[in-house]
Structure 1
């Protein structure tokens, strides 16, 4: 072990922050460690850099450094809140950036650890939003326009004393009203809702999903075109055959039920129906 590492080990062994039996927060959210803790952290960073990779002390020192600087990661994560991502998720992402900072920091370069860690953590958060923030892929120009619209909306509201209109936003940003609408609507792509997501409210206990509310194919709607095409042709049939067609295909009656209503035999209904259908097929087959 180098002389510097031996000196740092001595500091570490006498540091109450390292030997405390319980894990506790050492700085409020939004602040790096205090002066005393900062001195201890600097010694630990130096010790970590000097220890060989196989040293059994490395995991313990690394964990302690992450604990000491985690409030800084929390603070940076909170700067990105209100952008559609849960704060807990952002804190975890910031924690990943902090871990990378602890692992990659080189004290010999002379820069303070925070000067190295802050850009690393912020970069990790920005990558998270770039790569995972949008469930539906949106062109970058719309993402940037949406952010710009969000910034100018507050300024315009104060200047005008009311919520800005699409025209107000278009004039301020220098784009068309159609582009403003497109940019605002792109926000809906930020967090897509799965059709398998459980329903909330009174339906929460039923196990119902959003997909259960989606309509299926409406056969009646699909048949509208057919009915409208057949309407003038049916009108050319004899009145009794028109009634049979209506009762069979629009009233869903059987041939026996139709026979009872018309007072004729089922066989007669069958012949009349066959004649009507032959006529309709022939007319539909004729070119326009």
Structure 2
């Protein structure tokens, strides 16, 4: 860090003090973004396998900004946790939500294009020899690949947004737009648990803040009913009121929350959590599909040249 520049935590302290959507807050956010570009690049790469100049990376970077911004405003300066640690979790959360909403594709890697070019050549060669149609699976088998490799290769290509493998391979345009679901570095169960806990903590804090904005009587009803599992009938008996009266108070309180300043934030939580869980499954499936490809030594060399 340059001498005299503020730490992440110092910038966030200033940011939270000036509030949102001000000229000063925008300037602070810009400094925070520039200061954490390396962290963002690394986070994107670890989650998606993308590098800075790959197709799709810029979309991921833009989504990461939303995650960083949300992290900056939600970060608890007294938590004792470094902002960089907290921000990574929030950025990953934002990226998995984006993946779920939009899907995520990157271009077919060079080693795979070479494998299928070789496969097509083998297919044509076998058809010429036998005078009979030959499948891609048969061609891959004749090339010496194991059943697991053949299955993984064909499964991966079925995810391509096209119906013709030949068309994919024949498109030699530099930096072509051919795409393959190729998320190669998914989070494991521990990371998923951490993100889920982070989500639950944020939901809890937002919900409690929203409840504190409603009348005290309604607050007590909701806490007893939903947090402690006491039925409305029991609560009504204890307060000497009718069950319908309590139900009406509860309904009015929920309506006030939906219409209040926390309504929009709370509305995002339930669908986004379901989306997050589904996105994690999709990323895991894509990673497993890639692992089943079992790269040959020659193909591994293509990845690093």
Which TM-score band (shorter chain)? 0.3 to 0.5
Using CA pairs under 8 Å that are at least 6 residues apart, name the structure with larger relative contact order, 1 or 2.
2
Q: TM-score, normalised by structure 1?
A: 0.35
| Structure label with greater radius of gyration | 1
